[in-house]
Chain A
Amino acid sequence: MPSLAIETSCDDTCAAVLEGPVILSNVISSQAVHGKYGGVVPEVASRHHLELTGPVIRVALEQAEVEVGDLDSIAVTAGPGLIGALLIGLSTAKAMAAPRHLPLIPTDHLQGHVAANFLEPDPIEPPFVCLIASGGHTLLAGVREYGGFEILGETLDDAAGEAVDKAARMLGLGYPGGPALEKLAADGDPGTFDFPIAMSRDPGLVFSFSGLKTALVYRCRDLGEGAIEEHRADLAAGFQAAVVEQLVSKLRRALDRDAWPAVALGGGVAANGPLRRAVADLCEERDIALKLVPTELCTDNAAMIGSAARYTPALAYPEYLAFDAFATGGGR
């Protein structure tokens, strides 16, 4: 029987219908409104989620040609994320499930990024190491089972995507900055400016992106207005190369430590072309498999939540009536 999944942890309002690992529909409504603020504004995101969640669920059911009465469970992101945003999806999901006595599956968002790799077509199976990088998270997940993962290393400060967005903003690009920065960087020389590869001497697997951001502030200040304009593409290329290098060097270190047979990527930053190529080169060099899910399953979506829910304990009615969302930590 089909199941419904709902995801509202950040600025995308998402609903999907799955039949096992098969996606019947995967609807994503991205909130373009945050562009003018240069970043996600929690209150603005929550207002849009309230408007969009119902319509997005309706469209997901219609596209899947599934009626509410056909559903066997409802999965929803319970955290981590923006608490006010999470509460829209969770309140809606609980209220849909309760009158029909359906089980509710509160799902971990990061587990969702991992579980995107279990979806048809071409699912992979554990063990593998998953690099998850987006505007909200940057971590290496060691996946040895379907229902969980171990954090091998995560960022000490900014997320990779957050750093990219801030850099894009400094260079006068729009929000979200990733695709624009990548496009600009394509015309630049990454060797023109020196950017630090943070944590390169740290033997662990932790990330840090705040120093990189500061470095860009200094480069821009040293150059002055006119010269920045002239070197925008070089700055973008240098910055992007430093982000990619840090991500890939930590991934390489994870592969040195353990004989992982496969690598997977998740999160919005995983849509970045140079990152994908660098990871592909690394996997070829090590002769291990690389799993690249399509972009719409990399960025936040509800199909990945439905996939994670298949390996997450369900709460039977009425156990979940008092269930609450969590902003950080929690689920695992």
Chain B
Amino acid sequence: MRIIGFDTATDDTVVGASVDGETVFKLVIPPGPEGRPVHSESLLEAVTGAAEAAGGWARIDRIAAGTGPGTFTGIRIGLATANGIALSTGIGLAGVSTLSALALPMLGPGHATLALLDARRGEVFAALYGPAGESLREPFVCGPEDLASHIGEFGPELLAGGPGAVRFSEDLDRAGVSIADPEADVHHLSAGSICELGATADPESLSNPLEPTYLRVPDAQLWLERHGRKAGP
């Protein structure tokens, strides 16, 4: 299977391609000056390179796109790009959870894996996976101090990783959660993981348009729910 995978839910633009399980293209484009992500400018160029590396658009079997959670605009640039390619070429789409792709290289026997992304506002996006990647806790958002209550029963046999684990390592220490080696690659999302999960996605579930995972409602909706209609700004 020839598959292109990408994710723009984090500040990086992550793009890869694989042919029958072998990586033929991988590229991570970090944010530009002042930390501004460059998803809009860089994604399609990288995806085009990935398509060429995998034998050209006509031979691509599937597009795997990260559905978040992460930055709202980033997620949408990725999914709109995937939708556009599918509309134009008819290539099937597989949505891949950004957290499950992050967890993939950390999975292993004897422990559960806690994938953590920095959700800004002092919070984390988190999800918990069993040894074979089975979901133990669906993606959620919470303050780092509340993580312990979400992962309670798994605490001792838990390995945490991802940019959110690095950022909130002290909170995790306090909760007794082990963190993957800070120097290890596993803290960064890899295109290979997106491709691998996309390749194993059930063909029945290939869909267009893809569903984003926001985990947070828009601020305006929160305001409305708290203050009611008349009190808006």
Contacts and interface: CB of A to CB of B under 8 A. Distances in A.
Are both chains from one complex?
Answer: yes
Given A44-B221, A95-B84, A322 B229 contact: no
Given A43-B219, A84-B72, A325-B40, A54 B208 contact: yes
B224 A44 contact: no
A51 interface: yes
B73 A46 contact: yes
Contacts of B209: 50-51, 53-55
A38 B232 contact: yes
Contacts of A96: 84-85, 87-88
Nearest to A318: B48
A95 B44 contact: yes
Contacts of B42: 322
Contact of A50 (B88, B212, B229): B212
Interface string A79-115: 0000010011111111111111000000000000000
Interface stretch (B74-82, B103-111, B163-171): B74-82
Nearest to A51: B209
Contacts of A94: 44, 81, 84
Interface string A173-211: 000000000000000000000000000000000000000
A170 B48 CA distance: 51
Nearest to B90: A68
A324 B88 contact: no
A41 interface: yes
Number of contact residues on A: which range applies?
A: 35 or more
Nearest to A93: B84
B84 A37 contact: no
A54 to B, nearest CB: 5
A47 interface: yes
B181 interface: no
Chief secondary structure at chain B's binding surface:
helix
Interface residues of B, number: 36
Interface string B215-229: 000111100100001
A321 interface: yes
Interface in A1-59: 36-38, 41, 43-44, 46-47, 49-51, 53-55, 57-58
Given A46-B72, A87-B73, A94-B44, A54 B87 contact: yes
A98 B44 contact: yes
B4 to A, nearest CB: 11
Contacts of A57: 87
A99 B83 CA distance: 13
A84 B73 contact: yes
Given A46-B76, A87-B73, A99 B89 contact: yes
B40 A87 contact: yes
Contacts of A41: 218, 220-221
Nearest to B81: A95
B11 to A, nearest CB: 16
Contacts of A92: 80-81, 83-84, 87
B85 A99 contact: yes
B45 interface: yes
Contacts of A38: 229, 232
A43 B88 contact: no
A175 to B, nearest CB: 11
A168 to B, nearest CB: 14
B58 to A, nearest CB: 9
A176 to B, nearest CB: 15
B20 to A, nearest CB: 22
Contact of B76 (A55, A88, A321): A88
B212 A99 contact: no
A68 B208 contact: no
Contacts of A95: 44, 47, 80-85, 88
A200 to B, nearest CB: 31
Contacts of B214: 47
Nearest to A322: B41
Given A37-B220, A47-B214, A88 B44 contact: no
B83 A47 contact: no
Contacts of B47: 95, 98
B80 A91 contact: yes
A93 B84 CA distance: 6
B57 interface: yes
Nearest to B218: A43
Interface string B58-76: 0000000000000011001
16 contacts: A43-B218, A44-B220, A47-B212, A47-B214, A84-B76, A87-B77, A88-B76, A89-B80, A91-B76, A92-B87, A94-B81, A98-B88, A99-B51, A100-B89, A322-B41, A322-B44
